[in-house]
Amino acid sequence: MAEYFVARGLPVPAELSQNPLTHWRRLIVIALSLGVVYIGLRITKIDLSSANPEYAAGVIGQLFHWDFSILTPRDEFETFWDTAEGQMIVTIFLGIIATVFAIIVALPLSFLGARNIMTGNVLTGGIYVVVRLVFTIIRSIDVLIVVIIFGVLLGIGSAAGVLALAFHNVGVLGKLYSEAIEGIDPGPLEAITATGANRVQVIWTAVLPQIVNPYISFTIYRLDTNVRLAPILGLVGGGGIGILLFQSVNLLQYGAAGLIIFMIVVTVALMDFASAQIRRRLV
């Protein structure tokens, strides 16, 4: 390759003669990565010696000996809603309600968190920064941690689960919505502003038509995610089928646990399929 430059009497670029893999910066990165893995293995004490293969095999076997008695009420005090399938439906609705709550808060806030709408004066610019910071902070707290906190604050149960999930989603949807607004074509905004329209009219006429589809798409994506997350909420006190799963594992009822896991898998797969179908039709 260097001949090209030599033949024309040009200086040979240094980049040509360097092997990028042996460049000192890369060597440092490789050494650091290996160091991290080594230290990680040392301090986390990953130890499989206490695992019992025979016992594990037994449990796995039991997980497939499904206990169908959880599909019917156990006594005269239980109703359909106490059965596993009843709780599965409740769980789906926990995810849906949490999404709805999150939309109600995130939708108006997202306008305050969009730079292209909020620039112009110091006050709105400040609001923009604060709103986006709040979104980021909320999003950075894992939803399971939020459920645990809300469980302490509100008592274990559906309220904690739904509100925690909603809270987390305000951060996620708020950011997605705001970014959808920031991604719009600024041309119509400029043109509508130039007609003498006020801010509300500009948003209504030039912004809304451009964000309807991304908003629907993001909302369905989060609905899908939330319905998948909902069964897990019960494991940390958020209500729904997760509580049943948690109980049956604690009581060593692996047949029931296996069936519940299967039901969750089927539900999630169906949600996945439905959400992909709807979103594909949107775009």
Partner 1 sequence: MAAVLAIQDLVKVYPSGTRAVNGVSLEIQRGEFVVLIGLSGSGKSSLLRCINRLVEPTSGRVVFDGADVTRASRAELRRIRRRIGMVFQQFNLVRRGSVLSNTLAGRLGYRPAWRTILGRPLREDVAAAFENLGRVGIADKAFARADALSGGQQQRVGIARALMQHPDLMLADEPVASLDPATSHSVMKYLEEINKKDGITVICSLHFLSLARRYGTRVIALKAGAVAFDGRPDAIDERRFKEIYGEDAVEVEIGPERSQPQPMSATEAALAALASDPDLGGIADR
Residues that bind partner 1 in the complex, under the rule CB under 8 A: 185, 187-188, 190-198, 200-201, 204-206, 209-210
Q: Which is nearer to partner 1, 72 or 201 (CB)?
A: 201
Per-residue tokens: 210: 């451009």
The upper half-sphere exposure of residue 60, i.e. CA atoms within 13 Å in the direction of its Cβ, equals: 6
Compute the least distance from the CB of residue 188 to partner 1, in Å.
5
Compute the least distance from the CB of residue 180 to partner 1, in Å.
14
Q: Which amino acid is at 202?
A: V
Q: How deeply is 62 buried, as exposed, middle or buried, from its count of CB atoms within 10 A (0-12, 13-18, 19+)?
A: middle
C-alpha to C-alpha distance for 238 and 221, rounded to whole angstroms: 21
Q: Which amino acid is at 169?
A: N
Compute the least distance from the CB of residue 215 to partner 1, in Å.
13
Per-residue tokens: 84: 């596993």
Sign of CA dihedral 21, 27, 31, 33: negative
Q: Which is nearer to partner 1, 191 or 251 (CB)?
A: 191
C-alpha to C-alpha distance for 283 and 268, rounded to whole angstroms: 23
Q: What is the DSSP letter of 12?
A: P
Q: Which is nearer to partner 1, 52 or 195 (CB)?
A: 195
Q: What is the DSSP letter of 113?
A: T
Compute the least distance from the CB of residue 212 to partner 1, in Å.
8
Judge whether 136 and 224 are in contact, CB under 8 Å. no
Q: Which is nearer to partner 1, 47 or 185 (CB)?
A: 185
Compute the least distance from the CB of residue 151 to partner 1, in Å.
41
Compute the least distance from the CB of residue 278 to partner 1, in Å.
19
C-alpha to C-alpha distance for 243 and 234, rounded to whole angstroms: 4
Q: Which is nearer to partner 1, 154 or 192 (CB)?
A: 192
Q: Which is nearer to partner 1, 18 or 201 (CB)?
A: 201
